[in-house]
Every structure is written in structure tokens, then in C-alpha cells.
């Protein structure tokens, strides 16, 4: 595989600091936050971001997937693990690695909204704005990127490359 660096470690670190400030300032001050991270892609981003959230936090995970080992989304979102907490009247921050067609976050926010949270906001590290197939925008966005397949910093190609500390785009498979 041929890959080229898209976003450096330093850029990621700086942007996450800014995002954490936005989040700390905009949710109702001093109220606890339930953070739900989507596995697997957001695990590194979420780990860095939650350490900068300055209030009482409860962290949970949902496993969702719409990819089948290649670079094209199937449009079918599968859940294999759900949260086991009551989110009624809670402040929720849902974290994902990348917003692409929007199928995943649309489906999961619809599903969580049925459980009547007080506030439900979403935060993504990357946003491929040009690829949207459903009407969905995230509240907090790290970087808007072009329509390229990205790996590293939690993002994979066929389960590989998640451990790369920066974000690369795939030039050639």
C-alpha cells in the first residue's frame, strides 16, 4: 500500500485541545456528561479527547460497523454491542472517528434519541463533507477532509494501521 501523511501528530493534538475547549464551554456547565464512543475507529481519538474534558464523565462504548474490509461503505449499519445505561435526561456526547455518508451517526443518534436524552451532541475527528448521503451534520468537527480513504490514529484498512500516530490517506492499494 502507498500512503501519504494527511494530518500530523501535532495538528491532531492542537485540534483536540481546541475541540475539548468547545465541548467544555458549550455543554451546560458543571453537569455530568455521558460520553459514548463508537468502536472501533474512535478509540484513540476518544482516549485523547476525554482526558481534556473537565467535568464528571461516564464513558461507554457502542460497537457499530458499516465496512466490510474494503474502502466502500455498505450503507448497512450493524450494532454488535449496545450501552447498558439509562440515558433518559442525561447530557450525551457521542464520539466517532469519521463522518462519511452519515448512515452510521444518523442511525445511532436516532436510536439514542428514542431514549430521551436531555442533550445529544456528536463529535467527529474527521468529516468527509462531500460524501454525505443522508442529512446529518456533527456538532463538533476536528478536520474537514476530501474524499480520500484515511488510516491511522484509530482508523484502519482491513483492521490494520490503527496504531499509526498520525493520519494518512491511501494513495494506492
Catalytic residue ranges: 100
Query: Given the rule CB under 6 A, which residues bind ligand XMP?
Result: 41, 66-67, 73, 96-104, 149-151, 155-156
Distance, C-alpha 84 to centroid of its chain: 20
Closest CB to ligand XMP among residues 48, 100:
100
Minimum gap (Å) between residue 104 Cβ and ligand XMP: 3
Cβ within 8 Å of residue 118, ≥6 positions away: 89, 90, 91, 92
Minimum distance from residue 99 beta carbon to ligand XMP (Å) = 5
Residue nearer to ligand XMP on the CB measure, 54 or 163: 163
Distance (Å, whole) CA 100 – CA 6: 17
The CB-side HSE value for 62 (13 A sphere, CA atoms) comes to 25
Q: Which is nearer to ligand XMP, 24 or 73 (CB)?
A: 73
Query: Would you list the DSSP string of 75-91?
Result: EEEEEEE---S--TT-E
What minimum distance in Å lies between the beta carbon of 25 and ligand XMP?
A: 26
Amino acid at each position: 500500500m502507498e500512503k501519504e501523511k494527511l494530518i500530523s501528530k501535532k495538528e491532531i493534538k492542537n485540534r483536540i485541545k481546541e475541540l475539548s475547549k468547545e465541548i467544555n464551554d458549550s455543554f451546560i456547565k458543571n453537569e455530568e456528561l455521558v460520553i459514548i464512543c463508537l468502536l472501533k475507529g474512535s478509540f484513540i481519538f476518544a482516549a485523547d479527547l476525554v482526558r481534556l474534558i473537565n467535568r464528571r464523565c461516564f464513558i461507554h462504548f457502542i460497537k457499530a460497523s458499516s465496512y466490510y474490509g474494503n474502502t466502500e461503505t455498505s450503507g448497512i449499519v450493524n450494532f454488535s454491542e449496545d450501552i447498558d445505561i439509562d440515558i433518559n435526561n442525561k447530557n450525551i456526547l457521542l464520539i466517532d472517528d469519521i463522518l462519511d455518508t452519515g448512515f452510521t451517526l444518523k442511525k445511532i443518534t436516532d436510536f439514542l434519541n428514542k431514549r430521551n436524552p436531555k442533550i445529544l451532541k456528536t463529535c467527529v475527528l474527521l468529516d468527509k463533507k462531500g460524501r454525505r448521503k443522508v442529512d446529518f451534520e456533527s456538532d463538533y468537527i476536528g478536520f474537514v477532509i476530501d474524499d480520500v480513504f484515511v488510516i491511522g490514529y484509530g482508523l484502519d484498512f482491513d483492521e490494520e494501521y490503527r496504531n499509526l500516530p498520525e493520519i494518512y490517506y491511501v494513495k494506492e492499494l
